[in-house]
Every structure is written in C-alpha cells, then in structure tokens.
C-alpha cells in the first residue's frame, strides 16, 4: 500500500440548529486516508460518524474546514467517492444486473460496455449468474453485494460505507466482511467505513479512528498491525479489542454495563 493520502479532511466543524440554539456535532476533525487503505471511524451512536462520512462524500457541507479528494476540494458528491448505505439503496423493481447497470448511466460507456462492466462486478462480489434476480428474491447479504457491485462498477477512487453490515445477522455479517476483504485485496479500492462494532473495525481496518461524542471529535488513531485475514479468536486480536474497549471505558464515569454503542 502506498502512503500517499488520497483524501485529506482538515479541521472540519459542523453544527446543526435545534429549537433555540445549535449543537456542535463535529469539532476540528482532521484525518488523512491513504490510497488503498481501509480505515474505520468507530464511535457510539450519535457521535457524528454519519455526519462526518456525509461531509467526506459531499452530501453535507462543513461549516468550517475542508475535504480534499485527489487534490480537489469536495463540494458535492462525485463518482470518485461512492457512498454505500446500510439499507442497500436498490431499486426493487429492477433486477440485480439492472441495478448495477443503472449506476453507470450517464457515463461514457455504451450499453454493451455497461452490461459487460455490470456482469464483471456481479462476478467480483460472488453473484455470477444471479443478475436476473430481483431485490425481494434475495437475502440482505446478497442485496448488499449488489450494492457493493454497483459501487465498484463505477470504479471509484474511494468507497464510503455507513454501517454497511449492521442490518445483517452475525453469520451473514462475518461472511460479507470476508468478502469485502477479498474484494478490497483484488480491487485496491480505498475504503472508509463507519461502524459502532469494535470487532468489525479491527477485522477490516488498517487504521481505526476512535470518535468521542459531544462534540464529535477524533479521540485516537489506532494502527492495526495484524496481517489479513485476521483471526478474531487470536490473542493479538483480543489485545486490540481490550485497547479499544478501554478507550471508551475510560471516557465514562459509569460502569461498563451502561456502555451503549
Ligand atoms: N440533519 C440533521 N439535523 C439536525 N441534527 C442532526 C442532523 N443529522 C444529524 N444530527 C444530529 O447530529 C448528531 C450526530 O448524528 P450522526 O452523525 O447521525 O451520528 P452517528 O452516525 O454517529 O450515530 C446527533 O445528535 C444527531 O441527532
Ligand atoms: Mg450513523
């Protein structure tokens, strides 16, 4: 992996107005993500993870600070940086193949090239021969694969994932996490993942940015120096779990029982 940043997030501040005043959601958030890297933004619910990801993707504007992707300031969503949502965002009346093709409309590709590209990425996510199925005919895990294929087909510089596996059961989640590792190793896409799942963050990430809340800020960066694929039951993995758990626990006045993430 090269160490050149593909994206730089610089001193981002963001507040949302509420009834009388406004609440600061992000405070001086700065981080850089290297090309080909997978990073996680880990924090409890409401700490500003989605807001930060939305700002990185150009869906939301920072009050102050900048996001610079490939040397250019991000001011709106682009095809270079694609967001993958937890609820898949598929069109129910379109087949898997059509859903992937649809993302390519408006590109320079011909209809034949769009079809070929869509088929290729359905294969990449393990859905060879499944292109004619409709979203209601497939499991949540398969829907998310279609969504990943649609994102990959655009050949973006970067994919943003907002708790992409949170709606899946444990087995499907583990399976999809493995798929994501395999795909990322092949495609070398840069991935920024938001999660409240400590194990998921350790399993997938090269680096984890721990966010604390009120206002949302980067508390700590942790390098996960374990080769992939990782063994969740290994003591090295447990070491990072403990380290991260303590980061949150130390931030609390109450017992770990009251630790909501
Ligand atoms: N569009 C919005 N308008 C007002 N408040 C918002 C908006 N989006 C998020 N918030 C608030 O900002 C805080 C952070 O939200 P969010 O980024 O969704 O957190 P997370 O993804 O970490 O759960 C929450 O208190 C939420 O209620
Ligand atoms: Mg969120």
Q: Compute the distance between CA of residue 181 and CA of residue 127 in angstroms, rounded to an integer.
A: 16
Question: What is the secondary structure of 36-67 as a DSSP string?
Answer: T-EEEEE--TTSSHHHHHHHHTTSS--SEEEE
Q: How many Å lie between the centroid of ligand 2 and the Cα of residue 44?
A: 9
Task: Please check the confidence at residue 3 and state whether its pLDDT lies above 80.
Answer: no
Say which ligand is closest to the CA of 49.
1
Q: Which of 48, 85, 160 to mutate to test the pocket of ligand 1 (most atoms within 8 A of CB)?
A: 48
Residue 86 pLDDT class (50, 70, 90 cuts): confident
pLDDT at 4: 85
Percent of the chain predicted with pLDDT > 90 = 81
Mean pLDDT for the stretch of residues 10-18 = 96
Residue bearing the CA closest to ligand 1, atom 8: 51
Phi, psi of 196 (to 5 degrees): -110, 15
Q: Compute the distance between CA of residue 115 and CA of residue 177 in angstroms, rounded to an integer.
A: 27
Mean pLDDT for the stretch of residues 224-236 = 96
Beta strands in 35-143 (DSSP E): 38-42, 64-69, 72-73, 81-84
Average pLDDT along the chain: 92
Q: Compute the distance between CA of residue 176 and CA of residue 170 in angstroms, rounded to an integer.
A: 10
The residue among 88 and 100 whose pLDDT is bigger is 100
Mean pLDDT for the stretch of residues 155-164 = 94
pLDDT at 251: 45
Q: Compute the distance between CA of residue 86 and CA of residue 166 in angstroms, rounded to an integer.
A: 7
**Three-state DSSP state, 189:** coil
How is the chain split into domains, by residue range?
A: 5-80+158-258, 92-155
Q: Compute the distance between CA of residue 160 and CA of residue 81 in angstroms, rounded to an integer.
A: 7
Q: How many Å lie between the centroid of ligand 2 and the Cα of residue 80?
A: 22
Task: Please check the confidence at residue 60 and state whether its pLDDT lies above 60.
Answer: yes
Q: Compute the distance between CA of residue 206 and CA of residue 240 in angstroms, rounded to an integer.
A: 12
pLDDT at 18: 86
Task: Please check the confidence at residue 195 and state whether its pLDDT lies above 80.
Answer: yes
Residue 1 pLDDT class (50, 70, 90 cuts): low
Q: How many Å lie between the centroid of ligand 2 and the Cα of residue 28?
A: 19
The radius of gyration computed from the CA coordinates of the chain, to the nearest angstrom, equals 19
pLDDT digits (tens, 9 = 90+) for 168-178: 889 889 988 99
Task: Please check the confidence at residue 253 and state whether its pLDDT lies above 80.
Answer: no
Q: H-helix or E-strand containing 116?
A: helix 111-124
Mean pLDDT for the stretch of residues 45-68 = 97
pLDDT digits (tens, 9 = 90+) for 112-145: 999 999 999 999 999 999 999 999 999 998 999 9
Residue 102 pLDDT class (50, 70, 90 cuts): very high
pLDDT at 257: 52
Output the CATH code of domain 5-80+158-258.
3.40.50.300
């Amino acid at each position: 992996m090269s160490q050149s940043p593909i994206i730089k997030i610089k001193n981002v501040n963001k507040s949302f107005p509420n009834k009388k005043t406004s609440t600061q959601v992000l405070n001086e958030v700065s981080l850089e993500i290297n090309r080909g890297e997978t990073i996680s933004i880990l924090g409890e619910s409401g700490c500003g993870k989605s807001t930060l990801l939305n700002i990185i993707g150009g869906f939301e504007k920072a009050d102050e600070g900048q996001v610079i992707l490939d040397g250019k300031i991000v001011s709106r969503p682009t095809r270079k940086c694609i967001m993958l949502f937890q609820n898949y965002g598929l069109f129910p009346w379109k087949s898997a193949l059509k859903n992937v093709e649809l993302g390519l409309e408006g590109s320079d590709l011909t209809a034949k090239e769009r079809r070929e590209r869509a088929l290729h990425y359905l294969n990449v996510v393990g859905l060879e021969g499944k292109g004619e199925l409709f979203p209601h005919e497939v499991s949540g895990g398969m829907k998310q694969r279609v969504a990943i294929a649609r994102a990959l087909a655009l050949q973006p510089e970067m994919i943003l994932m907002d708790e992409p596996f949170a709606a899946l059961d444990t087995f499907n989640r583990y399976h999809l996490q493995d798929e994501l590792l395999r795909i990322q190793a092949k495609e070398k896409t840069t991935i920024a993942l938001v999660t409240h799942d400590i194990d998921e963050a350790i399993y997938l990430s090269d680096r984890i940015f721990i966010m604390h809340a009120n206002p949302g800020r980067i508390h700590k960066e942790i390098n996960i120096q374990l080769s992939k694929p990782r063994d969740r039951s290994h003591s090295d993995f447990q070491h990072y779990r403990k380290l991260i758990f303590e980061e949150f626990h130390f931030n609390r006045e109450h017992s770990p029982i009251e630790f909501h993430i």
